[in-house]
Amino acid sequence: MNHKIKTVLFKTLALLPNKVDDYCYHKIQSFFDKTTLESRLKSVESTYLRLIKVLNDLDIDLKDKTVFELGSGWFPSMPYFFKYKIGAKEIITVDVNEHFKKATVLELNDLFLNIHNCEVIPDAKSKYGLPNEIKYLPNYNVVKQELPDVDFVFSRYVLSHMNENDVDRLHEAMKTQLKKGTYVVHFISPSDLRQHGDANLSLQDFLQYSKEEWNKVHTKYDYHNRLRLPHFLEIFKKYDYEILHLDYESLHEGTKKYDLFKKIKLHDDFTRFSDEELTAGNILVVLKT
């Protein structure tokens, strides 16, 4: 869908009463999203494979450990990999929204068995059809509630959807509340979400706007801060995290995506950064408190 049409649609939804707007958003998502559960699980599996390689390189063992996932998403994909492929003892997954549907989770249970030969036995008392070791806490604002006692914190493409101040507050809270030596892993995709489905838009198109202009463009349905890699690193260093691993991809000259990026007239807020810093994406960082 063209990004301008999508913006008008989301702004219209935002005018509806609470719960009605979310219901309509879910229906629209279901209508336009033609991907299968299996293809979406495959996408998450690539995250798992990238993660497990880095964990092995760093000699980090999550077997019998407690994992805290920020941003559950639409179904418990990474929790299943943590439980059934990595051997974590318990996974607590939280989200500011409530997206899990029991029918989808039960379908995922069968799919995980067929693909990974791991039998998922749902807890009879679970509202969502989840196994006993996976705790789902929807409507949970991680920057306003006490953090649980865990060994490992994980987020997959969540930080860019948080308010900039909340990203800072989250890392301050984790540094002060979690026990020393807790690992924190973030997958970060700091690109303009409007580009999804509109290949003529640059991944960094939103860098042309002032903060005030950008706030008028996006809505709660496509909320995206514009923190660049140096911004994230500044926050990590501010609270004295040990950075154990960092890798990312940047755009290269001669590619269509780079050409689209170079056509953008950057706002003054971003001109101090290099092209590599501005286009750094698919970021994976491992921190230690």
> CATH top-level class for 35-288?
alpha beta
Report pLDDT for 26: 58
If you ran DSSP here, which 8-state letter would residue 148 be given?
P
Q: What are phi and psi of 64, to 5 degrees?
A: 65, 20
Report pLDDT for 224: 87
Three-state DSSP at 70 gives strand
Report pLDDT for 223: 77
Residue 228 and residue 191: Cα distance in Å, rounded?
9
If you ran DSSP here, which 8-state letter would residue 83 be given?
I
Query: What is the distance, to the nearest Å, from the Cα of residue 258 to the centroid of all Cα atoms in its chain?
Result: 24
The partner residues of 247 in beta bridges, in order of sequence, read 284
Report pLDDT for 4: 62
Report pLDDT for 213: 92
Q: Are 269 and 227 in contact (CB under 8 A)?
A: no
Q: Are 232 and 200 in contact (CB under 8 A)?
A: no
Q: Which amino acid is at 125?
A: K
* Residue from 50, 110, 108 nearest 77 by CA: 108
In sequence order, the 6+-apart residues with CB closer than 8 A to the CB of 87 are 62, 63, 64
Four-residue CA torsion sign, 132, 133, 139, 140: positive
What pTM did the predictor assign? 0.89
In sequence order, the 6+-apart residues with CB closer than 8 A to the CB of 22 are 97
Q: Which amino acid is at 148?
A: P
Report pLDDT for 238: 98
Token couple for 20: 């009605």
Residue 167 and residue 184: Cα distance in Å, rounded?
13
Q: Please name the residue that has the structure tokens 């995506």.
A: 257
Residue 163 and residue 208: Cα distance in Å, rounded?
19
Residue 157 and residue 71: Cα distance in Å, rounded?
8
Three-state DSSP at 187 gives strand
In sequence order, the 6+-apart residues with CB closer than 8 A to the CB of 129 are 102, 105, 106, 109, 122
Each of the 289 residues of the chain gets a pLDDT tens digit; together they read: 555 666 666 656 566 666 555 655 555 565 556 579 999 999 999 999 999 999 999 999 999 999 999 999 999 999 999 999 999 999 999 999 899 999 999 999 999 999 999 999 999 999 999 999 999 999 999 999 999 999 999 999 999 999 999 999 999 999 999 999 999 999 999 998 888 767 888 999 999 999 999 988 877 666 789 999 999 999 999 999 999 999 999 999 999 999 999 999 999 999 999 999 999 999 999 999 9
Token couple for 236: 């990590």
Residue 271 and residue 289: Cα distance in Å, rounded?
32
